[in-house]
Amino acid sequence: MNFSDISTILYDAIAYIAAGFVIFFLGKLVYQLVNKSFNVKEELVEKDNLAFAFAHTGYFIGLLLAVGSAIVGPTRGLVNDMIDILAYGVLAIILLNLSIWINDKIILRKFSVKKEIIKDRNSGTGVIEGAVSIASGLIIFGAVSGESELGGWGFGFLSATVFWAAGQIAIIIAAAIYQLITPYDVHEHIEKDNVAVGVGFAGALIAIANLIRYGIAGDFEGWGVTFSEAGFELVLGIILLPVMRFLTDKILLPGQRLTDEIVNQEKPNVGAAIIEAFAYIGGSVLITWCL
């Protein structure tokens, strides 16, 4: 590799990083525009709102994944790659903010997510909102990172949006299944500021999204094929949730019941919930490696 090659690589890398930060800046502006009832800087710096920090960091991780989808895919030249990053970045900003709205209205519909995060500083709710953004970013990553013979930004935007919408439905289904396999009311304990419940729930959502990402990743071969693969991954994920919860009890937390650690003691064990979340996410990663 000569000096010219090194210079080109460095130049391209700097350009990609700069484009990424432009998307982060735009994402911050749009987030503040959508959420006019509070000030982002004030919540982060002046009020030291940890719950909001969890939610906002998840939002930026989701954006990072969306930007990465345009970078890791097949290159079409620096100029076209930059356009891809900016175009899909703007699309991701819109879709991520819609994901947050869906989380508020459907997934955590029994209470106001904004109130829990901004007024009550409920870190459990903040973790879940951040997880929803990360989950959406994973789905966008899977939808955008491959190639399609149809080509063109128009079809790319369409496929990314369709897969995002399907992913939201899958996340809603996963949330309902998670409630069924837990012997306590997830919403009730989250509203009671139980961070441990929020962490476990967040891990389940990210695990499902990672499986869907794997199912829709790669070159586009048709709607039927892609949805079949994504549906198969969703079914695996639904099976994974109760299995991994059982294994967490028997292997990762021997001698202790996960439910007791998370909800049946005065101070919920966030550490046990982190292990639960790891079990879900780790299980999803193992599945993608094995298939």
Tens digit of each residue's pLDDT (9 = 90 or more) over 143-195: 877 555 555 667 778 888 898 999 899 999 999 999 999 999 999 999 999 99
Contact predicate 144/71, CB 8 Å: no
Judge whether residue 12 has pLDDT over 70. yes
Judge whether residue 79 has pLDDT over 90. no
So what's the pLDDT on residue 74? Answer: 67
Per-residue pLDDT, averaged over 100-117, amounts to: 93
Q: What percent of the chain has pLDDT over 70?
A: 93
Chain-centroid distance of CA 35 in Å reads: 20
So what's the pLDDT on residue 151? Answer: 56
Q: At residue 114, what are phi and psi to the nearest 5 degrees? A: -60, -45
Q: In this structure, what token pair is assigned to residue 199?
A: 């962490």
Segment among 80-84, 91-95, 217-221, 254-258 with least mean pLDDT: 217-221
Chain-centroid distance of CA 57 in Å reads: 11
Report pTM: 0.92
So what's the pLDDT on residue 148? Answer: 53
Judge whether residue 73 has pLDDT over 70. no
Burial class (CB in 10 A: 0-12, 13-18, 19+), 28: middle
Q: Which residue has the higher pLDDT, 226 or 39?
A: 39
Judge whether residue 23 has pLDDT over 80. yes
